[in-house]
A and B are shown apart, each in its own frame.
Chain A
Amino acid sequence: MSDAVVTPAKSSDAPLSRLQLALRKPGFLIGAVILGISTLLALFPSFFAPYDPNFIDYLAVRQPPSWAHPFGTDMLGRDALSRVIHAYTVNMQMAILATVFALTIGITVGALVGYYRGVADMIFGRVVDAIITFPFLVLVIAVVAVLGPGLINMYIAITLVGWVYYARLMRAEVIAQMGNDYASAGIVMGYSDRRIIFRHLLPNAITPVIVYWMTDMALAILLGSSLGYLGLGAQPPQAEWGVLIAEGRNFITTAWWLSLMPGIAIVITGLGFSLIGDGLADLLRPRG
């Protein structure tokens, strides 16, 4: 009468083995290595940088790459490598601070309108339509223009625009999950809305949002350094990749390395986030 429990193909299908599986994929592994190194550089820049990034040496301005200065020196004789490394701190911070509030707000709003629908959902739809008609960058610049340049204002601006994208994704995913009977079962069991939304729907709906978050962190670095380049984000003498590129811009023919090296740093870090994002999709899928 009673049937034996179907034993899973591998009895130790623990999260660990999934991580191992993910790490076996070259993309995910490369991404993890890139982000690991980036994080170390961001946390302990002074340990890795050969010089003080703000040490000015008028006797050695705009020197080409050499053993002493692998990335050369800038127009004030500061070591370009040290400045790129110190910029990791602010640029990695950007990836997090410019997205994490948008992520939190987006998930909450998206889950709520997706669950309750109705008038709130209609208003949300209008807000989304209004915001996404404008290109992201244009809108962020407009907000910074109102608030004034600077890192904090830039984070506020990106959050004000960025949450919509998370919320939209989350809403769609929650609505899709609502079609599953386990959500109906929660209602029938008399569980509170908060429990159904946060304990049942959210964990099942969040995967694509997390994956998007990874790519968005790459975009945030790109956006942040663009604003830095335009003079709207980080302000000199702060070492920030966009600022560094802007500083090197006037010497692009004579000292090309000044703009190229921070540019490469942006590309590599962005790549790291994208690669991790792809792998995470597999890692977070419910088993079965």
Chain B
Amino acid sequence: MTQTVMKIEDLHLSFPVSRSLLDMVQRKPGKSVNALNGVTLELLQGETLGVVGESGCGKSTLARCIVRLYPPTSGQIHFDDQDIFDEKARKDRTYNRRVQMMFQDPYSSLNPRMTTGDILTEALRVHEMRPEAEIASRVAELLELVRLPQDAAEKLPHEFSGGQRQRIAIARALAVEPEVLIADELVSALDVSVQAQVVNLLLELQERLHLTILFVAHDLRLVRHVSNRVAVIYLGRIVEIGDSETLFSSPSHPYSQALLSAAPSLDPDDKGAAIQLEGELPSPLNVPPGCPFHVRCRHVTAQCRTVIPELRALEGRGEVACHHSEEINQYA
């Protein structure tokens, strides 16, 4: 029986949009970007949970909430049965040690004025991971772990390629011996062959160190490859979540179906049957009432326009947030 390490409940987050002077004069109401609209999620011990969705759907916002970079507007995140946004828990920096995040942009995520050695030493020292005398050898060990040459310790970030910088970021996260890793588009900025190297490293380290990973990416093939389970997000809500292979081979939610069918196949003869999405593109500025996908959905009914579908388990599949999953998937 796998254990739940993190429990996210009904997480909402909206960013207020700064109003222009004209808006204020015209007394228009303040708008807000509703980045997360009720995300409920469990992270299981030792798994990789993939998170996919179109850009702006709230993937990074969710990742940043989990590591407490953004406080949610409402909802809770429990880690080890402790509410992480609780006043007392907030002061507790061991959470930051146990849950680590890696960022998308290999060029801005490392302090340009610190050498690799400084970066790793700092992490080890602040969290007192090793006695002072053992820090140097631990740095060497970490470099070894992410397969960077030992002389990397004296070098500044600009002397490394993008793939190597992401390895430094991984080493920094691993320095504090975390239990959960949040990888936000970790390899998106890298070339395919370098992507493969970093993904291999991540999979191997997960095995070795029993890490739980939340893998956020927009590359569907990659997510399918690394994940045990996958969550599909649309406009700040999970519309489908379930076992990776099942979800990718037979997606149940109309949006997942459209998303997966749009990924180009490597086989020139497999033209697929891309489901073209109609209608307005989603904007988190005004999330449609009812099912957020209804403006683009082929199966829309009157009920969809008013009632928000809840995530519910579907026979032989994962959980789906759609009123008509049964009918839709009958013929699929």
Task: Return chain B residues, CB-CB under 8 Å to A200.
Answer: 111, 114
Chain A residues with CB below 8 A from B93, complex form: 190
Chain A CB within 10 A, most for which of B97, B109, B176: B109
A187 to B69, CA, bound (A): 7
Contact with A along B108-146 (1 / 0, CB 8 A): 111111100000001100110000000000000000000
Bits for B148-167, please: 1 = Cβ < 8 Å to A, else 0.
Answer: 11011001111111011000
Q: Which residues does chain B contribute within 8 Å of A4, judged by CB atoms?
A: 149
> Roughly how many angstroms separate A195 CA and B105 CA in the complex, as a whole number?
22
The distance in angstroms between the C-alpha atoms of A197 and B210, with both chains bound, is 33
Classify chain B: how many residues form its interface, as a range: 35 or more
- Answer whether residue B227 sits at the interface, using C-beta atoms and an 8 A cutoff: no
Cβ of A180 and Cβ of B113 under 8 Å apart?
Answer: no
Asked if B126 and A195 sit within 8 Å, CB to CB, the answer is: yes
- Given A184-B69, A187-B69, the answer on whether A5 and B155 have CB atoms closer than 8 Å is yes
Assess whether A6 is in contact with B160, with CB atoms less than 8 Å apart.
yes
Query: In the complex, are the beta carbons of B158 and A288 less than 8 A apart?
Result: yes
Within 31-61 of B, Cβ neighbours of A (below 8 Å) are at none
B109 contacts A181, CB within 8 Å? yes
Interface extent on A, as a size class? 20 to 34
Q: Which chain B residue has the least Cβ–Cβ distance from A13?
A: B159
Do the beta carbons of A5 and B151 come within 8 Å of each other? yes
CB-based nearest B residue for A2: B147
Query: By the criterion CB–CB under 8 Å, are A185 and B172 in contact?
Result: yes
Contact B112 A189 (CB under 8 A): no
Residues of B within 8 A of A189 (CB): 96-97, 100, 123, 126, 172, 176
**A5–B159 CB distance below 8 A:** yes
CB nearest neighbor in B for A195: B126
In the bound complex, CA of A136 to CA of B42 (Å): 59
Assess whether B96 is in contact with A181, with CB atoms less than 8 Å apart. Answer: no
Say yes or no: is B293 at the interface (Cβ < 8 Å to chain A): no
Q: Does A188 contact B (CB under 8 A)?
A: yes
What residues on B are CB-neighbors of A181 within 8 Å? 103-105, 108-109
Does B211 touch A at the CB level, under 8 Å? no
Residue of B nearest to A6 (CB): B161
B96 contacts A188, C-beta separation under 8 Å: yes
Determine the chain A residues whose CB is within 8 A of the CB of B95 once the complex forms: 190
Contacts of B108 in A (CB 8 A): 179-182
In whole Å, how far is A272's beta carbon from the nearest beta carbon of chain B?
28
Expressed in whole angstroms, the Cα–Cα distance for A8 and B151 within the complex equals 13
Rounded to whole Å, the gap between the CB of B15 and the closest CB of chain A is 14
A286 within 8 A of B: yes
Does chain A have a CB within 8 A of B67?
yes
* In the assembled complex, B197 has its CB within 8 A of some CB on chain A: yes
> Known interface pairs A2-B148, A5-B164. Does A188 touch B69 (Cβ–Cβ under 8 Å)?
yes
CB distance from B184 to the nearest CB of A (A): 9
Q: Which residues of B contact A146 (CB under 8 A)?
A: none
Instruction: Give CA–CA (A190, B157) in the complex, Å.
Output: 21
Min CB–CB distance A16 → chain B (angstroms)? 16
Q: For chain A, residues 167 to 213, give those with C-beta under 8 angstroms from any C-beta of chain B.
A: 179-182, 184-185, 187-192, 195, 199-200, 203-204
**Sample of 14 A–B contacts (CB below 8 Å):** A2-B149, A3-B161, A5-B152, A6-B160, A181-B103, A185-B101, A188-B67, A188-B100, A188-B101, A189-B126, A190-B126, A191-B126, A286-B156, A286-B158
A-B pairs with the 9 shortest C-beta distances? A288-B158, A190-B96, A181-B109, A190-B93, A181-B103, A286-B112, A180-B108, A2-B147, A182-B111
